[in-house]
Amino acid sequence: MVDSHADSSYWHPFAAMGAVRRSELVISRADDVWVWDDAGTRYFDATASLWCVNVGHGRREIADAVHRQMLEVATYQTFGDIINPPVRELTARLAALAPMPGAKVFLGSGGGDGIDTAAKLAREYFVRTGEPGRTVLISRTNAYHGTHGFGTALAGMPPNHIAGPWIPDTATVAHDDAEALEAEIARLGADRVAAFFCEPVIGAGGVLPPAPGYIERTREICERHGVLFVADAVICGFGRLGTWFGIERFGVVPDLIVFAKGITSGYQPLGGVVVHERIAAPFWDEPGAAPFRHGATYAGHPAAAAAALANLDILDGEGLLKRADELEGELLGALQTFADHPLVGEVRGGTGVLGALGIDPERLAADPGLPAKIAAAVRSRGALVRPMGSAVAFSPALTTRPEHLEVLVDALRGGLDAVAAG
């Protein structure tokens, strides 16, 4: 067993290392909706790791597919004309599932590098189509687009901008007001704006479903001003909103979709961008068109693609997108049990298998550490939940059953009551 109180050498993401360095939780086993620490304590994984283990843990089919692929060809680059069978199959399958016609698919290793790809692609599209002045990228308050360069600049969370400014040609609009986007485009001049980045449901920024009509209206505004609409489906894709890319739920066709997480249910690092054929055209249609000078060593990684194919087979074969439709109501119902709890200001959810308990603003002002305290108290009662700035979030696997939610409700009740009692 690891001595988790001995000083660690691992620098954890988004962690106060001064506190964490001698106090780690060592996860050493996982199966379906459960994880175990190395002392053998079992927890309900109410966050599916970081919003991503959509098919649940311990899927032998995915492990076997990766194993088989690694014995065939474990890794090979895909620059120039080189490809491998699983990447060819996966990208064809994603293009067929995508809501845009003739889609092309660029691959990377996760969501943040997908955002960088989308940002560079959007700007270069306009260079190639004779509007090089379109450089500004617009995002929303509370947005989270990862921690690569562009994602950091586009974050709608001011604390993520420490040591910035990162990228000058960016702007932020209110996340819940489509007219704010129209006004910002007018202020900047449409001929300066390249793209609008939009999470169908804001995740890390608080689990904020869009107001009715918001997505449709912002899509229409982008279309009218020639601004590319980039759906960041990193959390929302692969069943979490009950559809393949999340955005179809709103009946709009985006120009670009960034995906990651649920594409492999987190079993292998993979992400990418689905590109509308109209946006791909200046790069694809002329044999003499210059290459898009972008891509990483692990773009088109065969073992990651094999994991994705096996994961898509499970999502499809077990009807998990349909199951997500039922689970979204079950999760919201479970959380609504706490609507009157003194620590809870607001219950959020109902659009996908995503939920949050917003902490009562007065209680939070008096103690900004409440989300972390609640998460710790819930953990000690057998469930892992995600503390955020002003809320505690939930995004369990799509295999979650009502009896699992009962475990969550019990742990939440115990945790919330203990923290409320001080």
Coil, strand or helix: which one is 153?
A: helix
For residues 341 and 416, the answer to whether their CB atoms sit within 8 Å is yes
CB nearer ligand PLP, residue 356 or residue 416: 356
Between 229 and 283, whose beta carbon lies closer to ligand PLP?
A: 229
Nearer to ligand PLP, 49 or 91 (CB): 49
- The interface region with ligand PLP, picked from 88-96, 110-118, 163-171, 272-280 by CB under 6 A, is 110-118
Q: Which is nearer to ligand PLP, 199 or 360 (CB)?
A: 199
Task: Determine, following the binding rule CB under 6 A, whether residue 145 of this chain makes contact with ligand PLP.
Answer: yes
Contacts of residue 163, Cβ cutoff 8 Å, sequence gap at least 6: none
205 is an interface residue for ligand PLP by CB under 6 A: no
| DSSP characters over 98-139 | SSSTT-EEEEESSHHHHHHHHHHHHHHHHHHTT-TT--EEEE
Count of residues interacting with ligand PLP (CB under 6 A): 16
The CA distance from 49 to 63, in Å, is 17
* Of residues 203 and 210, the one with the C-beta less far from ligand PLP: 203
Type of residue numbered 277 = E
- The single residue listed with the structure tokens 């000690």 is 380
Options 125, 144, 214, 394; binder of ligand PLP; rule CB under 6 A: 144
From candidates 124, 182, 184, 232, binder to ligand PLP by CB under 6 A: 232
- Among the listed residues 199, 248, 328, 360, the single contact to ligand PLP using CB under 6 A: 199
User: DSSP letter string over 376-420?
Assistant: HHHHTTTEE-EE-SSEEEE---TT--HHHHHHHHHHHHHHHHHHH
Longest dimension (CA), the chain: 70
Nearest Cα residue to 175 out of 232, 252, 242: 232
CB of 146 to ligand PLP, least distance (A): 3
Q: Does 118 bind ligand PLP (CB under 6 A)?
A: no
Residue 320, Ramachandran bin (φ over 0: left; ψ between -120 and 50: alpha; else beta): alpha
Are residues 197 and 167 in contact, defined by beta-carbon separation less than 8 angstroms? no
User: Would you call 272 helix, strand, or coil by DSSP?
Assistant: strand
- What's the closest the beta carbon of residue 110 comes to ligand PLP, in angstroms? 3
Pick the closer one to ligand PLP by CB: 219 or 261: 261
Q: Which stretch binds ligand PLP (CB under 6 A): 111-119, 206-214, 240-248, 392-400?
A: 111-119
Q: How far is the CB of 395 from ligand PLP (least distance, A)?
A: 10
303-342 binders of ligand PLP (CB under 6 A)? none
Q: Which of residues 86 and 272 has its CB atom nearest to ligand PLP in the complex?
A: 272
In angstroms, the Cα distances linking 188 to 11, 181, 185, 288, 414 are 40, 11, 5, 34, 51
Q: Does residue 234 interact with ligand PLP by CB under 6 A?
A: yes
Tell me which stretch binds ligand PLP (CB under 6 A): 138-146, 298-306, 368-376, 408-416: 138-146
Q: Please tell me whether residue 352 binds ligand PLP under the rule CB under 6 A.
A: no
Q: Could you say whether residue 112 binds ligand PLP (CB under 6 A)?
A: yes
Nearer to ligand PLP, 78 or 139 (CB): 139
Q: What does residue 186 show for φ and ψ, rounded to 5 degrees?
A: -65, -40
Q: Supply the minimum distance, in Å, between the C-beta of residue 72 and ligand PLP.
A: 26
- In the complex, residue closest to ligand PLP by CB: 111
Whole-angstrom distance, CA of residue 287 vs CA of residue 196: 30
DSSP per position, 5-60 = TSPP----TT--HHHHTT----EEEEEBTEEEETT--EEEETTHHHHT-TT-B--H
203 in contact with ligand PLP (CB under 6 A): yes
CB of 413 to ligand PLP, least distance (A): 28
Does residue 107 touch ligand PLP according to CB under 6 A? no
Q: Does 146 bind ligand PLP (CB under 6 A)?
A: yes
Q: Which residue has the tokens 């999760």?
A: 331
Our CA angle for 165, 226, 279, nearest 5°, is 90
* Residue closer to ligand PLP, measured from CB, 129 or 147: 147
Which is closer to ligand PLP, CB of 152 or CB of 400? 152
Interaction site with ligand PLP (CB under 6 A): 50, 110-112, 115, 144-146, 199, 203-204, 232, 234-235, 260, 271
